[in-house]
Amino acid sequence: MPSMASVLEDPSLERHFKGHKGAVICTDFNPNRKQLASGSVDKTLMIWNLAPKARAFRYVGHQDLITGVQFSPSGHLVATSSKDRTVRLWTPTMKGESTVFKAHTATVRSVAFSHDGQRLVTASDDKSVKVWSVHRQCFLYSLNQHTNWVRCARFSPDSHLIASCGDDRTVRLWDTSTKHCINCFTDPAESATFVGFNSSGTCIASSGADSSLKIWDLRTNKLIQHYQVHSAGINSFSFHPSNNYLISGSSDSTVKILDLVEGRLIYTLHGHKGAVITVAFSRAGDLFASGGADGQVLMWRTNFDKKSYQDVLQQHSRRSTPDPAPHLTDIHPRTPHLHRQQRSAIQISPAVADTQSIDPHVIELGRSVHSATDLLSLYQSPKRA
């Protein structure tokens, strides 16, 4: 198959980063700076500066593998969760300061900021979801209706809701003002591995160990799209800021790109040797990252959001005979159209070595733990949560 990367509108592999000594579990872009964070089985947080030849920073402090990472909305803090049962807040600077939340009684699977940066939500194998004050560095409340490990929890864009999912095969929706579970989506087939809101907060998606990805409309509480385009479990996904696209990373070693408006798979990206464990769009949507069991972090330029998929297909001189692509309102809520992999999806297999990425000089930081006062003096303190 000829290379597809030469066509401008296709996603293209921009850089690859090597520095982790184990599988890459989580990634996130800084909202305000050209930085990418990654956490790994090697227990370290890496901050990659996207400028050419810029130094990278390795932050040491966790006693076990890092399971989740997210920049604060300001970009001045980074939160990480770990199998060591703690959450850390880092200042991604040369000082390498961090403060520790002794968060749970078992592995902490995920960590995420609220939209205003004042709160954190964590999910754990102790079957709980917990909410914390960033400014006061303290526990606020716990959500406790899951009956098995909780794999992921996220705030809605307006922070009025929390979505969580886990090995009890449920996706739960919580009201942050009442602390009550207001909805529960059950999947009898398989445990849910990841959950997330789209940027408008009107939909949530969840992925499963059974390779499926489902999208619910929160205005109607109905399942509206169901995709089975991977051949193994989905470990992570990310909505494009436009809400028109979604990327997913799977244990089948691929990244898939879905067009949510047309309801179809449009790209399959090859580049990792082994499972793809994490994917993340940048806040602008012009870049996305993937990390995997091969210890690599790949950074891709989106490109495909600049032009319609049909135009791209024509440039490739390919003829498409995919599933019919009903609009969301055309899908019967009780029997959502199941979208499987189509032959028309464009395959992209870049030669990773050809990106000419130079392994950056890595500076190791962060063994000391500093007080909350020291940590928070580096940015303007928000109002008390």
Residue 43 lies in a domain: yes
pLDDT at position 318: 43
Q: Please determine, for residue 288, whether its predicted confidence score (pLDDT) is greater than 50.
A: yes
Predicted confidence band of residue 380 (pLDDT cuts 50, 70, 90)? very low
Q: For the ranges 20-24, 54-58, 200-204, 213-217, which has the lowest average pLDDT? A: 54-58
Residue 132 lies in a domain: no
Residue 63 lies in a domain: yes
Residue 381 lies in a domain: no
pLDDT, averaged across the chain: 84
pLDDT at position 188: 65
Separation CA 101–CA 99 (nearest Å): 7
The string of pLDDT tens digits covering residues 24-56 is 999 999 998 899 999 999 999 999 999 888 889
pLDDT at position 81: 97
What's the domain count of the chain?
A: 1
Predicted confidence band of residue 103 (pLDDT cuts 50, 70, 90)? confident
- The terminus-to-terminus CA distance of the chain in angstroms comes to 55
Separation CA 168–CA 146 (nearest Å): 7
Residue 77 lies in a domain: yes
pLDDT at position 356: 40
Residue 31 lies in a domain: yes
What distances in angstroms separate CA 343 from CA 81, 267, 320, 346, 347, one per listed residue? 39, 10, 8, 8, 10
Q: State the CATH number of the domain containing residue 62.
A: 2.40.10
Residue 262 lies in a domain: no
Residue 60 lies in a domain: yes
The string of pLDDT tens digits covering residues 71-89 is 999 999 999 999 999 999 9
Burial of 227 (0-12, 13-18, 19+ CB in 10 A): buried
The string of pLDDT tens digits covering residues 325-374 is 333 322 333 345 566 665 557 888 776 554 445 566 788 876 544 433 33
Predicted confidence band of residue 113 (pLDDT cuts 50, 70, 90)? very high
Range of the structural domain that residue 54 is part of: 17-102
Predicted confidence band of residue 312 (pLDDT cuts 50, 70, 90)? low
pLDDT at position 264: 94
